[in-house]
A and B are shown apart, each in its own frame.
Chain A
Amino acid sequence: MGEVIVITSGKGGVGKTTTTANIGTGLALEGKSVVLLDADIGLRNLDVVMGLENRIVYDLVDVIDGICRMKQALIKDKRYPNLYLMPAAQTKDKNAVTPEQMLKLTKDLAEEYDYILVDCPAGIEQGFKNAIVGANRSIVVTTPEVSAVRDADRIIGLLEANGLKNPQLIINRVKIDMVRRGDMMNIDDMVDILAIDLLGVIPDDEYIVVSTNRGEPAISDSKSLAGQAYKNIVKRILGENVPFMSLDSEEGFMARLAKAFGFRRK
Chain B
Amino acid sequence: MNFKGKSLSLKEYNDLADILQNKYGMQFLGDYEALCSNIAAGKEEEKNQAKPEPVIKQGQGDEEKAVFIRGTIRSGQLIRSEGNIVVLGDVNPGAYLEAAGSITVMGKMRGTGHAGTQGDYSTYIAAFRLEPMQLRIGDIVTRPPDGKQYKSKVPEMAFVKKGMIIVEPYLGKR
A and B pair up = yes
| B-chain residues with CB within 8 Å of residue A195 when the two chains form the complex | 72, 90
Least Cβ–Cβ distance between A143 and chain B, in angstroms: 16
Q: With an 8 A cutoff between CB atoms, is A178 at the interface?
A: no
Q: Name the interface residues of B74-122: CB closer than 8 Å to any CB of A.
A: 74-77, 90, 92-94, 110
A157 and B90 form a contact (CB under 8 A): no
The dominant DSSP class at the A interface is: helix
A47 to chain B, nearest CB (A): 32
- Asked if A59 CB lies within 8 Å of chain B CBs, one says no
Interface residues of A in 163-180 (CB under 8 A from B): none
The answer on a CB contact under 8 Å between A153 and B90 is: no
Q: A64 to B171, alpha carbons, bound, how many Å? A: 61
Q: Which residues of A contact B92 (CB under 8 A)?
A: 153, 193
CB distance from A38 to the nearest CB of B (A): 26
Q: Which residues on B sit within 8 Å (CB–CB) of A154?
A: 74-76, 94
Complex Cα distance A154/B74, Å?
Answer: 6
Q: How far, in angstroms, from A158 to B95 measured CA to CA in the complex?
A: 13
A14 close to chain B: CB less than 8 A: no
Contact A150 B77 (CB under 8 A): no
CB contacts under 8 Å to B, within A110-141, are: none
**A152 and B20 alpha carbons, distance in the complex (Å):** 32
CB-CB under 8 A from A151, the residues of chain B are: 75
Nearest chain B CB to A152's CB is how many angstroms away? 9
Chain A: CB-nearest residue to B110 = A193
Q: Which of A153, A156, A158, A160 is the most central at the interface, judged by chain B CB atoms within 10 Å of its CB?
A: A153
- Please state if B93 and A157 are interface contacts (CB–CB under 8 Å): no
Task: Knowing A193-B92, A195-B90 are in contact, say whether A150-B75 is a contact too (CB < 8 A).
Answer: yes
Residues of chain A with a CB closer than 8 A to B75's CB: 150-151, 153-154, 157
Contacts of B90 in A (CB 8 A): 193, 195
In the docked arrangement, what's the CA distance between A151 and B92, Å?
11
Name which residue of chain A comes closest to B73, CB basis: A157
Residue of A nearest to B93 (CB): A150
Collect the chain A residues with CB atoms within 8 Å of residue B77's CB.
157
A177-208 Cβ-contact flags toward B at 8 Å (1 or 0):
00000000000000001010000000000000
Beyond contacts A193-B93, A193-B110: 10 other A-B pairs, Cβ-Cβ < 8 A, are A150-B93, A150-B94, A153-B75, A153-B92, A153-B94, A154-B76, A156-B74, A157-B75, A193-B92, A195-B72
Q: Name B residues whose Cβ lies closer than 8 Å to a Cβ of A.
A: 72, 74-77, 90, 92-94, 110
Residues of chain A whose beta carbon lies under 8 Å from any beta carbon of chain B: 150-151, 153-154, 156-158, 160, 193, 195
Closest 9 pairs between A and B when the two form their complex, measured CB to CB: A157-B74, A153-B75, A154-B76, A154-B75, A153-B74, A195-B72, A150-B75, A153-B92, A157-B77
